[in-house]
């Protein structure tokens, strides 16, 4: 991420996951530790894939897996313990073998996100770890979570 992002509203994200700020994720300054943001983003990403039947975690699964090749976050306002959190998830770009994900982390009743994150997933064969074209379940998930075009 090279350009400065701006905070987005909840409606900018088609899928949301509610969670709570974990005590252990607070740093010595009393706010959410920077590395914890990526943990919340990663959990929400995988939960959205599972909910859209685009990720099978069973031991005998053969569908591709997404490897994170780039990630980042930009911060707009502090999040402090205790609070409920919502993670917004959207797909911002679809390639032949990759998807760019966008996230917003919302604190309590705030309409604007406190942070925005991005991940780039390259989908690979589980055994060879070589890139493979996106499957129909991944494409369907991408369509369902596509970022609104009016933002």
At 77-116, the pLDDT tens digits run: 999 989 999 999 999 999 999 999 999 999 988 999 999 9
Position 2 pLDDT exceeds 80: no
Specify the pLDDT at position 4: 83
Q: Residue 72: CB partners within 8 Å, gap ≥ 6? A: 1, 117, 118
How many angstroms from the chain centroid is the CA of residue 119? 7
Average pLDDT over residues 3-9: 90
| Nearest one of 85, 125, 89, 87 to 108, comparing CA atoms | 85
Length of the chain: 151
Average pLDDT over residues 118-131: 96
- CA–CA separation, 25 and 70 (whole Å): 22
Average pLDDT over residues 21-38: 90
Specify the pLDDT at position 151: 40
- CA–CA separation, 39 and 32 (whole Å): 11
- CA–CA separation, 90 and 55 (whole Å): 16
Position 49 pLDDT exceeds 50: yes
| Nearest one of 147, 148, 91, 151 to 123, comparing CA atoms | 91
Decide: 126 and 56 in contact? Cβ < 8 Å.
no
**Angle, CA of 50, 26 and 107, to the nearest 5°:** 60
- CA–CA separation, 70 and 117 (whole Å): 11
Terminal alpha carbon distance of the chain: 18
Which residue bears the tokens 């894939």? Answer: 49
Average pLDDT over residues 123-131: 96
């Amino acid at each position: 991420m090279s350009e400065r992002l701006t905070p987005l509203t909840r409606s900018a994200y088609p899928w949301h996951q509610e969670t709570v700020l974990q005590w252990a994720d607070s740093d010595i300054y009393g706010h959410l530790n920077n590395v914890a943001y990526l943990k919340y983003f990663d959990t929400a990403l995988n939960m959205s894939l599972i909910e859209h039947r685009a990720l099978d975690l069973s031991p005998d699964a053969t569908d591709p897996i997404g490897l994170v090749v780039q990630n980042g976050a930009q911060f707009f306002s502090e999040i402090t313990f205790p609070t409920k959190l919502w993670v917004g998830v959207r797909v911002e770009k679809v390639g032949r073998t990759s998807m760019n994900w966008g996230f917003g982390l919302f604190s309590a009743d705030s309409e604007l996100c406190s942070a925005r994150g991005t991940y780039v997933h390259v989908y690979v064969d589980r055994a060879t770890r070589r890139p493979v074209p996106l499957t129909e379940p991944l494409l369907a998930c991408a369509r369902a979570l596509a970022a609104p075009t009016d933002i």
